[in-house]
Structure 1
């Protein structure tokens, strides 16, 4: 589904990176999206949006799921 969105849509290289650093990288590489940090175990709205990337972080603020547009 991300293929309908403009710009880079997936950031597998950010696995294991600090969440704030990941947000900066995502927003720099695709200025059309807002990257939002989400703590492990949190609930999110599940609608698809081309202007949003959830950045899932663990208790140490490390990205543990590949960030993708959605």
Structure 2
């Protein structure tokens, strides 16, 4: 008799979704954050931006903005867009 049934077979298919944000990077330096993002998403354009800067509102799946405070620490979770 087989154990597990169809639900067990589908369990691996629902693994982690593609990463689109990095909340764990808040408080890190911009260089550490850029390195981690590029490890997770090679080829993405990582832009370091002051937290209070004005930026365009367009959505770009090839871009991640890293907003930093005056001490070059990540101020909020970077995400694709």
TM-score between the two structures when normalised by the length of structure 2: 0.74
Kindly report which structure 2 residues correspond to 1:1-70, keeping only aligned pairs within 5 A, or say none.
7-70=18-81
Unpaired segments of 5 or more residues in structure 2?
Answer: 1-16
Q: Report which structure shows greater RCO (CA 8 Å, sep ≥6).
A: 1
Question: What does the per-residue CA deviation read over 1:8-27, in whole Å, with 9 as the maximum and x for residues that have no partner?
Answer: 21101101100111011101
RMSD between aligned residues: 1.5
Q: How many residue pairs end up in the alignment?
A: 65
- TM-score w.r.t. the length of structure 1 is 0.84
Larger Rg: 2
